[in-house]
Structure formats: structure tokens, C-alpha cells
Chains A and B, each alone.
Chain A
């Protein structure tokens, strides 16, 4: 079945860039998503990328997709303390439900 993997923890200093990585196994994935979850809160869709794209930029967020290596990354520029959260990578192909990674806990040190 499909599998999505992420590193569990990332710690950065305020003002630095954060890069959260994700790998997936389903070569038929058509959509790849990044969700943010703050403590005790719901899942906030941050951004997504279609599988035929290499890069997508949205303000401080940059998503890079290496389809050959099935590697997805989320770069957060000028990381702020408010960015501290768990970031989930998720993929789906066509109409299938989302498959999530385990989430990366980002800690921002002031």
C-alpha cells in the first residue's frame, strides 16, 4: 500500500529557514499536500502541489517536488515562533482518500 514518511522532529532558530522533508511510495500520486496542526487544533491546509509540477511558491512557503525520487519538501522562510506546529505531508491519487505521513514536529527557538 501507499506509504508516506517524514522525519519526526525539526528544531530551528527564529528567522532561519525550515525545511521539512517527505518521501512517498505511490508513483501514481497526483496530489501532494502539506497540512499544519497546532496543539489541540484541526488540520490546516497550507499548500499543495500537483505531481506534474516541480515547485510551488506561496509567500513564505516553497514546495519542491522531485517526482523521480518521490521526494517532497516544504521550506518555510523566516520561520517565526507561530510556525511551531506539526506538519503533515499527505498524498492521494485521483479520488482516493488522503494518506498522511506521521508528521514532523517543528520547534522554533526564539
Chain B
């Protein structure tokens, strides 16, 4: 069965650079969630989209923005990167808002 696809899987950036993470949900899933997992931490919710509209907002810094496109894929844009942004970034999708969330493999971002 198709799963959530995230790209890239690994990303290394310098401080103050920008990064774009992409998420392709499971086909026919219309809801996408973004989570950040710092080293040794639990995943923290950042933001979610339902039917291409932002539906919930968590602890997402103002330096970050995200959107969901007409094909339901989503991108997380991160600017002015800081060392503390180094983390695993997970995308999850669900078939409907409030449904079971299936996670992608994550993008490991390292900020040097």
C-alpha cells in the first residue's frame, strides 16, 4: 500500500539559510499534519491542513510557513534557520479531518 512520502530524507543547511520540506500524502487523503521531533524528544505538532486550508496551528515559529497544494501535497518552508531547528520533521496524512494519522519516514534537518 502507498505510504506518506517525504523529501528530502536528509538535509544539511547553514544558519540563516532557508529550507523547503515536501510531503506527499497517501492517495485520497485530504488532511496533512506537520510535526517536529527534536533529539530525544516527543513529536510536537506544528501545523495541519484540510482540503488545502490551514486547519490547526501548533508551536510553529513565525519563521516557518506551510501550505497545501491542489494535489494535496504540502510544503513546509523554513527561513532564517537556527541551530535549534535541527530535528526530524514528520508529515502525517489522514483520510479525513480527525482520522487516523499515518506518518511518513521524516526529513532529518541538520543546521550547522
- Residues of chain A touching chain B, judged by Cβ–Cβ distance below 8 Å, are 31, 33, 35, 40-45, 48, 88, 92, 94-103
As a 0/1 sequence over residues 38 to 50 of chain B, the CB contacts with chain A under 8 angstroms (1 = contact) are: 0001111100100
Chain B residues contacting A44 (CB-CB under 8 Å) are 103
| Contact A45–B103 (Cβ < 8 Å) | yes
Cβ–Cβ contact A42 & B33, under 8 A: no
Residue in B42, B56, B90, B105 whose beta carbon sits within 8 Å of that of A96 in the complex: B56
Closest residue on chain B to residue A35 by CB atoms: B103
CB-based contact A97/B58 at 8 Å = yes
* Contact, CB under 8 Å: B42 / A88: yes
Residues of B near A40 (CB, < 8 A) are 108
CA distance A41 to B106 in the complex (A): 8
Instruction: State whether A45 and B42 are in contact (beta carbons under 8 Å apart), knowing that A97-B56, A97-B58 are contacts in the complex.
Output: no
- Please report the C-alpha to C-alpha distance between residue A40 and residue B42 in the assembled complex, in whole angstroms: 13
Contact of A42 (CB < 8 Å), options: B48, B56, B58, B90? B90
Known: A101-B42, A103-B42. A41 touches B105 (CB 8 A): yes
